[in-house]
Amino acid sequence: MYVHGIRALFPFPGYVVQKVTMASDIAQVVLRRDRRFRLACPACGATMAVNRTNTQTARDLALGTARLVVVTYPAIQGRCSACGGWATIHPPGIDPHAKATRRLMHFVCRLARYMPLNHIPEIVGVSERTAGRWDRKVLREHLPEPDLDNLRILLIDEKAVRKRHGYVTLAMNGQTGELLHLAEGKKKASLQSFFDKLSDEQKKGIVAVGMDRAGAYREVVKAELPDADIVFDKFHLIANYHAVIDEVRRSEWRKANAEDKAVIKGQRYNLFRSPWRRTGKQTRDLMALLHINENLAKAYILKESLRKLWDYKYPKAAAKYLAKWCRWAAVSGVGALRKFARSLLRAKKEVLNYCKHRITTGRLEGFNNTVSRIVHRACGMQDLDYLFLKLRQESLDFVLPS
């Protein structure tokens, strides 16, 4: 049958709807070439002569009750007399390699942002592998390249994305939250591959780098950005100190008698909690623990004192307080505390740089939740290039064009 008034549903310039065949859940849309439009060479724009025509098909969005919609159209091979080139012309909006309309591929890409790929076949009727391939293709075509020209604050961290310590290295713009780099591993080469992308001018624009105390990252940053300030993240330092408290707790538990062990047991996270996050019972249990164990009391008091270091705004005042705190740890008589204090003094410059720049890797740490969600939703992610595209989509809050 000839169909009128349906062209708006199938806007393919240069082609018109010839007929539509409907079944219960299948529809076929037949297009024919509109001869009012000339056949233009994609290389030079000159008019092409038709050499031959063959019929091809492409999947399209659902139409009414029809989940499977097949668009049949003539693919025209032409030759350009102006430039001598050959080309096969397909209707605009159809991807001949995917054998699908671009609007269907965009729809799948939007679905893939909010649901696992193995659920998409229930809605669209394409395989999980095809959905992933389309999603990857659309993101690669439409996501902008990382903005490396306006980079001033760089955040670096690692994240486990696979079992058995399968880590990736992440680099983020600390001001905009844009994910700039993802590479497998957490060694020098993982971060070096990011700096290899930067020009000398782009490197000079970076004034501060927020990171943890990982030695491999630190060496690369010092070599590539000699003029930038390294800022050790305060949340990582607090987490490092929590590990020290836990070491002291285990040591004290091994030395305690049966009665004291009962008090120490189960207090690990109670020692880590801030006072305003404890319940009344948790506070009473903690006070009982600190009353019977002097070393744990010292470790806990020094933890609350250490937090005050990042309240200082002036480097000289912060340096005096850091030296005072390290003296407290040194005279505590607890080996783990003294060892941690020495490590802080060795990293004194990077710790105190916080006063100058007031940056943390909190933005990147928060983004780690997004990484975990995407990896979990995909039941694991083997293709790191695809993972990078998915994460950039989230970091930019990217919306596909209509």
Task: For residues 49 and 43, give the distance between their C-alpha atoms in angstroms, rounded to a whole number.
Answer: 14
Q: Which string of b and e fits 36-48 if b means at least 16 CB within 10 Å? A: eeebbbeeeeeeb
Task: For residues 64 and 55, give the distance between their C-alpha atoms in angstroms, rounded to a whole number.
Answer: 25
DSSP at 66: B
pLDDT at residue 1 in the model: 45
Tell me whether strands 48-60 and 68-80 are parallel, antiparallel or unpaired. Answer: antiparallel
Task: For residues 148 and 70, give the distance between their C-alpha atoms in angstroms, rounded to a whole number.
Answer: 43
Q: Where are the alpha helices (DSSP H) in 196-230?
A: 200-204, 215-224
Calculate helix-pair angle for 294-307, 234-255, nearest 10 degrees.
Answer: 170
Q: How much is the pTM?
A: 0.86
In sequence order, the 6+-apart residues with CB closer than 8 A to the CB of 348 are: 319, 322
> CATH number of the domain at 153-233+360-396, out of 3.30.420.10, 3.30.360.10, 3.90.1150.10, 3.40.50.300?
3.30.420.10
* Length of the chain, in residues: 402
Choose among 221, 241, 225: nearest CA to 344: 241
Calculate helix-pair angle for 362-377, 384-396, nearest 10 degrees.
Answer: 120
pLDDT at residue 375 in the model: 86
N-to-C CA span, the chain:
31
pLDDT at residue 402 in the model: 66
Taking only the tens of pLDDT, the chain with its 402 residues reads 444 567 778 889 889 899 889 888 899 999 999 888 888 888 898 888 888 999 999 999 998 888 899 999 999 999 988 888 899 999 999 999 999 999 999 999 999 999 999 999 999 989 999 999 999 999 999 999 999 999 999 999 999 887 766 899 999 999 999 999 999 999 999 999 999 999 999 999 999 999 998 778 999 999 999 999 999 999 999 999 999 999 999 999 999 999 999 999 989 999 999 888 889 999 999 999 999 999 999 999 999 999 999 999 999 999 999 999 999 999 999 999 999 999 999 999 999 999 999 999 989 988 988 898 888 887 667 789 999 999 999 999 888 876
pLDDT at residue 222 in the model: 94
- Domain ranges in the chain are 1-95, 153-233+360-396, 234-357
Rg (CA), the chain: 31
